[in-house]
Amino acid sequence: MTMIDNFNLDSIRFLVFDPKIHILPKMQLKQSNGEDPLEVQSYYESIIKGNSFNNELLYVIKYKTETIGFFCIASATVEPDFANVDNPITQGKNSLIRALLISKIGIDQNYRCFGLGKYILQYCIGLAINLKEIEKFDIVLFRTTKSLAQKIYCLKYNFKMIKGDEKLVWVYKKI
């Protein structure tokens, strides 16, 4: 990894992964405490080994010429089974909900805390809005840790939290 002196978000690019073009480097994607509750590290290592995941579109995050992270998106249909949550999306609906699912987000530990997550979310929300007529997306949806949902995604970015377990929850934003 290169030293990060003057990180410049204008040098960030999201590129659709092409195994013929992109060589994926080893990255440290686990939390700083070594935990990996969302299994991002093993998922990424599986991609490096050449495994592909059907129905997902993988993006690599480039900073200048260096690959510093990735994220995967997919079109999903979810059931409005949020019985424990007063959910405005499903009120009065018995139909399924169309979602742009962000299945994984991984940012190398050396490049965290520069606001990359915000730009990934903005990109995915913009993509969902642009594809709304074709895909009929109602929400952007992803799984995260409960602490990040409470401290960042719900407070800063106005995502709604769907109750999960002690560590992991789903968050969504209506399109």
Number of structural domains the chain divides into: 1
| Residue-range definition of the domain harbouring residue 100 | 9-174
DSSP designation for 103:
E
Closest CA to 175 of 133, 143, 144, 112: 133
In this prediction, residues 99-127 reach a mean pLDDT of 93
- Residues 114 and 5: beta-carbon distance below 8 Å: no
24 belongs to a structural domain: yes
The answer, yes or no, to whether residue 62 has pLDDT greater than 70, is: yes
pLDDT level of residue 4 (50, 70, 90 thresholds)? low
42 belongs to a structural domain: yes
106 belongs to a structural domain: yes
Q: What is the CATH number of the domain that holds 67?
A: 3.40.630.30
* Phi, psi (rounded to 5 degrees) for 57: -110, 120
In this predicted structure, what is the pLDDT of residue 50? 83
1 belongs to a structural domain: no
Q: What angle do CA 38, 126, 39 make, to 5 degrees?
A: 10
pLDDT level of residue 84 (50, 70, 90 thresholds)? very low
In this predicted structure, what is the pLDDT of residue 19? 86
3 belongs to a structural domain: no
In this predicted structure, what is the pLDDT of residue 92? 54
84 belongs to a structural domain: yes
4 belongs to a structural domain: no
- Residues 40 and 105: beta-carbon distance below 8 Å: yes
52 belongs to a structural domain: yes
